[in-house]
Amino acid sequence: MKKSSRTDTAPLEFRHIRAPLGEITLAGRGEFLTGVEFLDQTPSALPAESGHTGSSLPVLKAAEQWLERYFAGEDPGETPPIHLTGTPFRLAVWEQLRRIPRGETTTYGAIAAELARQLGIPRMSAQAVGGAVGHNPVGILIPCHRVVGSDGNLTGFASGLRRKFRLLALEGLDMSRYPLPPPRGGSDLRQIPGVGPNIEQDLFRIGIRRIADLAGEDPEQLYRDDCAVKRFQEDRCQLYVFRLAVYFAEHPHPEPEKLRWSWWKDHRQ
């Protein structure tokens, strides 16, 4: 992680790029990349944009090319030079994130244990680590999406769990190893009618069936239609469909379901 006395005085410049999972904002000062996040991320880790939007700063072009290779499924190689500012604790956590290899995951607890070992203290809070991970200003290149819960649950991603799911899948992970977070209503997913040992696959089928029903389509035809199934499985909203299936099980009333069908239809492409 390089630093320069000129970094903090150089003007902050921004560049917006389109990516398979949504529009991304890049930020940089001088020769260093300082921020990467999805445009709709909440909360944002970047300062408000003022001037220099659409910058052709070389480091931002290099970051764009790195992301193009990443989303193409290639090894993007070494990241462009990054400059981070934050508390010593956050900087230490972000350095741990940079050490997680592509195609692998770790847990908040494992990071906490490693930092405690380095500092020579008995223990460190996994929750504190989670807070620092959540404030990572350089998404994807500093891979906070590779941190999961101690039970493998996909949790804690400011750009949305569906993106976390897709980023890990893009890196070749077997996503059946990473269970969905419990639904807000507290349901046991295994108690949903039609759900067996393969929870994710069964929820996927339930989601297709209910969406097909709301759309006035034959679900069996939807299964047989290779193009439709392929689009569905590759769509950025796959994780949302799992959630939708859980919602269907918890809320049998049709009007809220129709609202959610409209959302799915708008985001299917």
What's the first-to-final CA gap in the chain, in angstroms? 38
Label residue 241 left, alpha or beta by phi (over 0 means left) and psi (-120 to 50 means alpha): alpha
> 């195609």: which residue's tokens?
103
* Options 144, 168, 189, 239, the catalytic residue: 144
Euclidean distance between CA atoms 182 and 185, whole angstroms: 8
| Integer angstrom CA distances of residue 159 from 3, 95, 234 | 27, 20, 18
Q: Which residues pair with 33 in a beta bridge?
A: 28, 82
| Integer angstrom CA distances of residue 115 from 90, 122, 123 | 11, 10, 9
**Token couple for 31:** 């020769």
Euclidean distance between CA atoms 101 and 206, whole angstroms: 34
The burial class, CB within 10 Å (0-12 / 13-18 / 19+), for 224 is exposed
Does the annotation mark 144 as catalytic? Answer: yes
Strands 22-29 and 32-38: antiparallel
Euclidean distance between CA atoms 90 and 135, whole angstroms: 8
Q: Which residues are catalytic?
A: 144
